[in-house]
Structure 1
Amino acid sequence: MICGVIKRKKKTGSHPVYLNVYDITPMNGYAYWFGLGIYHSGVQVHGVEYAFGAHEYTTTGIFEVEPKRCPGFMFRKSILIGRTDLGPREVRTFMEKLSEEYAGNTYNLITKNCNHFCNDACLGLAGKSIPHWVNRLARLALLCSCVLPVDLDAVKVRPQRAEKGAQRAEKGVKKVRSNPNRSDPATTSD
């Protein structure tokens, strides 16, 4: 037997990147055990969760929330995807660049949803994809798209109040607060 030096895989990145998964429907309690379900997800890094939602404007659909507290959804679990060396400002710059591809009016339940955004964000931040089960239903629906109703394209899944202030923002990541008592110039009306 040859003894050699075992090289340990070095951890890359110093900041954890989490995928926070939410149930969209109470039926997920049953569907989850069969590898199915309808899920919303967000990417958490540096104490901020980034997610993608629908609205009718050409501005970004990417927004920020307090981790594990996305309004309108029931938190299920947090999954460590990997690590990143990007600092908070660099992550923000990365999200602003990604926001160019994720306008709120481009949201599509099957081909461009919150889970697609999270996959792109996790690949860019940690070099790893999200678990397949999170977006499995959308992939199955894509395979069956020839039998799905045409108006399914118009179905939008969005958290409560995610589009507040969307008319005024031209670009960049939206700041959405889950606490309605906290004021934010981007989300208050004049």
Structure 2
Amino acid sequence: MLRCRSSSEETASGSVPVYLNVYDLTPINGYAYWLGLRVYNSGVQVHGVEYAYGAHEYPSTGIFEAEPKNCEGFTFRKSILIGRTDMGPTEVRSVMEELSESYRGNTYHLITKNCNHFCNDACVGLTGNPIPSWVNRLARIGEDG
């Protein structure tokens, strides 16, 4: 018999899903779709917490925690299962603390170090899997240009 597992059963199995939550950065994304120029914001969701990266003027971390699928100022588009991790909440937080050394608020750059770069590094660190390449397409175009 097939049945849905409750979240407590999933956690007990030691295999916790890691999602990439993707947001539209601008209202023009609907129109830019046809040009292949959509701009996205993203966050990594694990253990009921979403981790994201943003800019500020200080040399402290730009990584922050948010309510999943509710990043203020952006329109939620979709959630993508990237993989699973055996890490508990404390271990996940340690991964984020390690990443905070590289992802400081005053080093944010739209093309070379943005929220999608952070999410890719976080997903690789948690699951071994990268985020889909289309999420950070605009940065790759900027690097080539």
User: Number of aligned pairs?
Assistant: 132
Give, in whole Å, the separation in 2 of the partners of 1:68 and 1:133: 19
More helix by share: 2
* CA separation of 1:34 and 1:83: change in aligned 2, threshold 3 A: farther
Q: Secondary structure at the match of 1:118?
A: helix
With normalisation by structure 2, the TM-score equals 0.88
Paired position in structure 1 for 2:101: 100
TM-score (norm 1): 0.67
Secondary structure of 2:41's counterpart equals: strand
* Mapping for residues 176-187 of structure 1, pairs under 5 Å: none
2:10 maps to which residue? Answer: none
Larger strand percent: 2
Moved beyond 4 Å, runs of 4+: none
Identity %: 76
State the SS of the aligned residue for 2:90.
Answer: helix
- State the Cα deviation string for residues 79-111 of structure 1 (Å, max 9, x = none): 000000000110011101111110000000000
**What secondary structure, in the 3-state scheme, does the structure 2 residue paired with 1:81 have?**
strand
Q: Which runs of 5+ in 1 are unaligned?
A: 1-12, 145-190
Q: CA RMSD in A?
A: 1.1
Partner residue of 2:33?
32
Counterpart CA distance in 2 for 1:83 and 1:31 is 32
Tell me, in whole angstroms, the C-alpha distance in 1 between the residues paired with 2:58 and 2:104: 7
Amino acid at match of 2:120: N
Measure, in 2, the Cα distance between the counterparts of 1:133 and 1:27: 17
